[in-house]
Amino acid sequence: MQAPESILKIWNRFDSFPMDTLVKVWNYDPQRELQQRTVEEMRKHRAKYGITGNCFDLALWLWQEFQENGVEASLIGHDLHTEEAHVAVVASSKEGFAYLCDLGDQWLQPILIDSESRDFRAGRHGGFFPAADIEVLPFEHHVNIFYHRPNGKRSSQSYDLSPVDYKEFLRAAELSQRTFRSSPLIECRLPFRGEVAHWELEGWQSQISTSKGIIHEPSLHTLEEWGERVHIRTGYDRKFLQRAMSDYFS
């Protein structure tokens, strides 16, 4: 179920990339016509501040890396042009088999979603998503992913596999970059006690999801405290965090 080296070597460049909604708050300029950053802008911001972006940023960046390295890939998404939008990438092996690549949800690695491949295996698989086993149920135009979490909990997500036109993707991305939440959402993969766990900040509560369950972190109350915790978890520049998070504390 693992992707071939041609896909993994590109994916692995993003191993330490969190997903967040902070960058668009920091980057927003009402005087500028377009808010969606180019990949070149994202690369510069990453080099200077250690920052990444939301699922549109990450999908666009990953897709372009695939394009530049000769890997066939397409942008996919659901609920585009709404607040519920989510986007990802499907990359193809040299044999033409499809692999789901979702940096926005902080997957550990791509997963095979093509049942015609001899490598496809039904059932549960570990090592693809933090703190959960994954089960893939593919259909002609979409794939259902089931997440088997600790203590018997199970959730699911459906991915529409229809390629999204590049211009439509950018229009949806533009709307996303202009849509702001009442509090930031930040997710990252976190080495933790011998595994890669999932750290998340949402609604000013942070937690670590592990194979043994969820660890709720102590509550914080000030901009300085939250900035330091996010810095420790993500590596984001402290001055960037103070600026990006200050709007939520004003």
What are the pLDDT digits (tens) for 5-61? 999 999 999 999 999 999 999 999 999 999 999 999 999 999 999 999 999 999 999
* Domain span at 159: 5-249
**Global confidence as pTM:** 0.95
Count the domains in the chain.
Answer: 1
In this structure, what CATH number is given to the domain that contains residue 108?
A: 3.30.2140.20
Which token pair is 21?
A: 């909604």
User: Quick one: pLDDT at residue 152?
Assistant: 80
Q: Locate all alpha helices (DSSP H) within 129-237, ordered by sequence.
A: 166-177, 223-234
User: Quick one: pLDDT at residue 151?
Assistant: 80
Mean residue pLDDT of the chain comes to: 95
User: Quick one: pLDDT at residue 249?
Assistant: 77
User: Quick one: pLDDT at residue 250?
Assistant: 64
Share of the chain above pLDDT 70, in %: 100
Quote the crossing angle between the two packed helices 55-68 and 166-177, to the nearest 10°: 150
